[in-house]
Structure 1
Amino acid sequence: MLHAEVAILGAGAAGLSLAHRLSHPAPLGRRVTAVLLDAPPGPLRPPRRTWCFWEAGDGPYDDAVTAAWRRLRVHDPTGRPTEDDIAPLRYKMLRSDDFACHVDHALAQSDDVRRLEAAVETVRGDADGAEILARTDDGRPVTVHARWVFDSRPLARLPAARTTLLQHFHGWFVRTDRPAFDPGTAMLMDFRVPQPPQGLAFGYLLPTDRHRALVEYTEFSHAVLPRRAYDEALRRYTDDTLRLGGFEVTETETGVIPMTDARFARRAAPSVFRIGAAGGATRPSTGYTFSAVQRQTRAVAEALHADRHPLPPPAHSARSRAMDAVMLRALDSGRVDGAAFFARLFAQVPMRRLLRFLDGETRLHEDLSVGIRTPVLPMLRSAAELPWLPRTPRHGP
């Protein structure tokens, strides 16, 4: 049996971030032993993915960042562009393989945190600690005992909610024959794509140089599409809207992110906590998760190093969650046109303020200044009916 003060389950963004922070104790903080359990290659291991976030100046993971942008652009459905400089913020692109290598390098130099490749089968927790039963790729059983467990694995089922939409996307990493991209500007939302009967759709473009970019097609709706539908939408976007000419697809990525006003439990047992998307880190209004993961794991690591109780804090404030619930209800009910809604916000609110708003860093008067740029009557009607709507479980994926 292995013993450690902390066991971290899952090596996605949250698990890797917490392991990285525990491998670097503060000068006056006590050392914490930890085991990071990552599933062997296969269906239980998270697929490769790209995380994007914004922060001011240099950050702890800049060595692993693929690209960063100070200028962002949004196109409304008519094609009218809105472009802004978000300095001192920068919009950063971090690929999961690069992040894992960055964390592995830190763990290799740490005597406190070790990584173990094993699939977790059961977790039994009580007030005194938890026992994790896992199995290696060759079938060997492994038992880990820890005082605290932080579980970042995806939930088997979403909690009951009043509104749940899915943000689902498919992306191509492309290399063009001609210089087709401006590497200084990222396309955050491009609503020139055809809009579905319900929900909204947009293109997303992150150029890494004049010839290379990640191009994605994204929808907010209730159900994912067949794979061929994403490829057809991307082909129309790259050919008819972006007019890229000849290009090669070098890699692809696919994802589904729940956008929900569900209440995520941060404690699964007296000594077992949930972090990351499983602990409510995904922002319901946008699907962004990485920045909230950093806030959560920073607070947990600081508590552990200070020998305090390490309950993860809420990833988003109550005010942010309430505003997101109203927006989701307004979109789901069809009271607001999603493409026009987001395009109007980016056109009327400085992008730096809007990004701070989406990160929950704005004050009440700034939130109100954003709110009055939305369709006020539909939003008020959605807010008024929310307390009367039942929370129901979502069936299916």
Structure 2
Amino acid sequence: MNNQYDFIIAGAGCAGMSLLLRLASDPFFSSKKILVLDSDDKTVNDRTWCFWEKDPDIFEPIVHHQWNELDFFSNHFSTVLDIAPYKYKMIRGIDFYAYVKNAIAAAPNIEWRKASIKKPLKHTTQNLAGVELTDGTLIYASFVFSSILFEPIQTAPSDYHFLQHFTGWEIETASPCFNPGKAVFMDFRVGQEQGTTFMYVLPTSTTKALVEYTLFTEQLLPDEAYEKALRNYIGSELQIQDYTIVHREKGIIPMTTHNFPRYQDNHIYIGIAGGEAKASSGYAFKSIQKRTAAIVKALKEGRSLAINKSFSEKKGHLYDAVLLHVLHYKKMPGDLIFASIFKGNKASSVLSFLDNESDVLTDLKIMSSVPTRIFLPAALQEIVSQGKR
């Protein structure tokens, strides 16, 4: 059994498999020995990724559905969001895994090993990185790309640590109930007593849609609370009584100002472990694609992989911290914040802002949409706090 490689990809989730596909698609890496380690075969439809983008990327062939218009609902403001030039896209986990596995099936330089990793080996000889498997096996490589959180997130006293937690049902109705050309991006017309709470409705046909109950809070709810909220929303708001649940999914994504390390020696952290989940929204798919593309480019050019955050990423981190500050101290409810932002700005500008791609003038316009008396003091406090983190 070979125990030395050029690259080890530790964890075959979104980040690991995105990096794997980018490496496998480039002839430059055809001579590199790549090992993928994961404890799962990735044969189950365990999650759904949604994201917005202007131009197609490498996963365009498996986009399950996309929308040009999105509904936004709240008790303060509601509208149809024209998101051009963006499209809102959905990729199913099962399609994602199968697509990448099929792409590497004939690659002699790539090995997939079903195994559990006990810990990273942080100090190795000959400038190598490594991992220790739970059976005691030690494996080394020039670089280890890890999306695994080996230890719980240790937040500093000045950090905020929210969770985006959700339960989704894909439902199918006997008669047409949905418009597959339009999705509900956020519907805040549900109880806000737990914190920032909303529904997604993502129709993929006239009779099928993913309905998801999502919260941005610091504590989880009992399982039955998510189920009850979904039943109530489908029955009362969507006015659907006769339906079948064809798929269920649930998840928890950290929304935190914690400063995740991007690298340590030749260990490169990617995905959530590398801080790719947007702290103000939980979205991670697009940032993962940007990061993995940057890693591949740096490898090809022989540049260091000790890539720190760009100015736009640091700027976005500050904006995220300000929002979490306001939510943590309950200075303004989340549904009103998002309603104010979407009411006062073009939808495409808000999406670029959420992706850390907006210019300073757009940033200023969006920030002026929310009360200065609340957000300016929060921003000043976070500027000081970030200097101490």
TM-score, reference length from structure 1: 0.90
Is contact 1:22-1:32 (8 Å) kept?
no
Q: Deviations over 1:260-298 (max 9, x none)?
A: 111111123x11121111111011110000111011111
- Mapped pair 1:287 → 2:282: yes
Is contact 1:8-1:149 (8 Å) kept?
yes
Is contact 1:130-1:272 (8 Å) kept?
yes
In 1, Cα distance between equivalents of 2:292 and 2:154: 22
> Structure 2: which 5+ residue stretches go unaligned?
none
In 2, Cα distance between equivalents of 1:392 and 1:228: 41
Instruction: Look up the SS of the partner of 1:245 in the other structure.
Output: coil
Deviation at 1:245, TM superposition (A): 2.5
Partner of 1:129: 128
Partner of 1:34: 34
CA distance change for structure 1 residues 47 and 133 in 2, over 3 Å: closer, same or farther? farther
In 1, Cα distance between equivalents of 2:308 and 2:44: 24
Q: Deviations over 1:159-184 (max 9, x none)?
A: 32421111111110100122111100
Q: Which amino acid counterpart does residue 148 of structure 2 have in structure 1?
A: R
> Structure 1: which 5+ residue stretches go unaligned?
none
CA distance change for structure 1 residues 390 and 46 in 2, over 3 Å: closer, same or farther? farther
Query: How many aligned residue pairs are there?
Result: 383
Q: 1:372 aligns with which of 368, 379, 383?
A: 368
Partner of 2:257: 261
Instruction: Look up the SS of the partner of 1:186 in the other structure.
Output: strand
Partner of 1:60: 58
Partner of 1:301: 296
CA distance change for structure 1 residues 349 and 31 in 2, over 3 Å: closer, same or farther? farther
Deviation at 1:389, TM superposition (A): 5.9
Deviation at 1:113, TM superposition (A): 2.4
Deviation at 1:46, TM superposition (A): 9.8
Deviation at 1:118, TM superposition (A): 1.0
Instruction: Look up the SS of the partner of 2:239 in the other structure.
Output: coil
Is contact 1:53-1:288 (8 Å) kept?
yes
- Mapped pair 1:277 → 2:235: no
Is contact 1:258-1:284 (8 Å) kept?
yes
Q: Which amino acid counterpart does residue 132 of structure 1 have in structure 2?
A: V
Is contact 1:30-1:307 (8 Å) kept?
no
Q: 1:152 aligns with which of 132, 138, 147?
A: 147
Partner of 1:74: 72
- Mapped pair 1:221 → 2:222: no
Instruction: Look up the SS of the partner of 1:5 in the other structure.
Output: strand
Is contact 1:32-1:305 (8 Å) kept?
no
- Mapped pair 1:84 → 2:93: no
- Mapped pair 1:194 → 2:191: yes
CA distance change for structure 1 residues 211 and 15 in 2, over 3 Å: closer, same or farther? same
Partner of 2:246: 250
CA distance change for structure 1 residues 180 and 47 in 2, over 3 Å: closer, same or farther? closer
Q: Deviations over 1:31-50 (max 9, x none)?
A: 533111111369xx998111
Instruction: Look up the SS of the partner of 1:106 in the other structure.
Output: helix
Is contact 1:53-1:91 (8 Å) kept?
yes
Is contact 2:44-2:94 (8 Å) kept?
no
Instruction: Look up the SS of the partner of 1:57 in the other structure.
Output: coil
In 2, Cα distance between equivalents of 1:210 and 1:336: 37
Instruction: Look up the SS of the partner of 1:229 in the other structure.
Output: helix
Q: Which amino acid counterpart does residue 283 of structure 2 have in structure 1?
A: Y
CA distance change for structure 1 residues 311 and 109 in 2, over 3 Å: closer, same or farther? farther
CA distance change for structure 1 residues 334 and 15 in 2, over 3 Å: closer, same or farther? same
Deviation at 1:30, TM superposition (A): 7.7
CA distance change for structure 1 residues 57 and 272 in 2, over 3 Å: closer, same or farther? closer
Instruction: Look up the SS of the partner of 2:331 in the other structure.
Output: coil
